[in-house]
Structure 1
Amino acid sequence: MTRSNKKSGAMSATEFMAQLQKDQEYQSKKTAFDAEHQARVSLFRKAEQPIVEDLRGVGLDVKSVWDLVNTADPYPAALPVLFEHLERGGYPDRVLEGLGRALAVKPAQIYWPRLRELYLRATGPDEEQGLAVALAASATPENLNALLDLLNETTRGSSRILFLSTIVRVGGDIGRNAVESLRHDPLFGKEARALLKQRS
Structure 2
Amino acid sequence: MSDPLSLIVGLGNPGPQYDRTRHNAGFWFLDELARRHGATLRAETRFSGEVGRARIEGREVWLLKPTTFMNRSGQSLAQLTAFYKIPPAEVLVAHDEIDLPPGDVRFKFGGGHGGHNGLRDIFGHSGRDFWRARIGVGHPGHRDQVIDYVLGRPGRDEQQRIDEAIAAAADALPELIAGAGERAMKTLHTR
Q: How high is the TM-score relative to the length of structure 1?
A: 0.26
Question: If you compute each CA radius of gyration, which structure gives the higher value, 1 or 2?
Answer: 1
Larger helix proportion, structure 1 or 2?
Answer: 1
Larger strand proportion, structure 1 or 2?
Answer: 2
Q: Whose RCO is larger (CA < 8 A, sep 6+)?
A: 2
